[in-house]
Amino acid sequence: MGSAQPNDIDHILLSEEEIAAKLDELAAKIDADYADKDLLLVGVLKGAVMVMADLSRKLQHTKVAMDWMAVSSYGSGTKSSGVVRILKDLDADLSGRHVLIVEDIIDSGLTLSWLMSNLRSRGCASLEVAAMLRKPEAAKVKVDVKYIGFDIPNEFVVGYGLDYDERYRSLPYVGTLAPHVYEN
């Protein structure tokens, strides 16, 4: 169970096996789309660490480089402004590069929407998104996501990179958090 107490997780939404099978599918599509191209994967810290590690290792035919960005929404907690601050910028120069943003979850879509226009302005040859999870009911802006793992209900989920108060990221599955954890 990783770092969680067994009763912290209400139920498992996506098992380790379901996640692995979905990543196989996404990797096959990405391989087909980028065959013979150099691809720069941009992971968005910290949640995307797991999907970045697993997805990148499933790519067979794509020449992959990796870089990382850390961002934070202004007025954290609300995340409503859509104004994002860069905590750690990319090391890579994006001009002329094929870039694939790798995200763990799209909630309101505000982070990704901001990130896409920021990265696009740096002159990439192409820019797409791969996200493991999306909460359609929470969307505030429409974001064009080419590779999506699962659409999930608007519930509090943790695991596979997703945290509550920095815990549970290391769980190998995605589960809903039991209310007693955040009600205390």
The residues that touch ligand PRP, with contacts defined as CB under 6 A, are 44-47, 79, 103-112, 163
* Closest CB to ligand PRP among residues 31, 54: 54
Sign of the torsion formed by the C-alpha atoms of 65, 20, 10 and 157:
positive
* Closest CB to ligand PRP among residues 108, 118: 108
How many other C-beta atoms can be found within 10 angstroms of the C-beta atom of residue 75? 10
Closest distance to ligand PRP from the beta carbon of 16 (Å): 20
Closest distance to ligand PRP from the beta carbon of 134 (Å): 9
Could you tell me which of 76, 66, 70 has the C-alpha nearest to residue 44?
A: 70
DSSP label at residue 178? P
Closest distance to ligand PRP from the beta carbon of 61 (Å): 27
Could you tell me which of 4, 9, 25, 17 has the C-alpha nearest to residue 149?
A: 25
DSSP label at residue 124? -
* Closest CB to ligand PRP among residues 46, 122: 46
Closest distance to ligand PRP from the beta carbon of 42 (Å): 12
* Closest CB to ligand PRP among residues 18, 107: 107
The SS3 call for residue 104 is strand
Please tell me which residue in 107, 144, 151, 163 is annotated as part of the active site: 107
Catalytic annotation present for 165: no
DSSP 14-30: E-HHHHHHHHHHHHHHH
Catalytic sites, residue numbers: 107
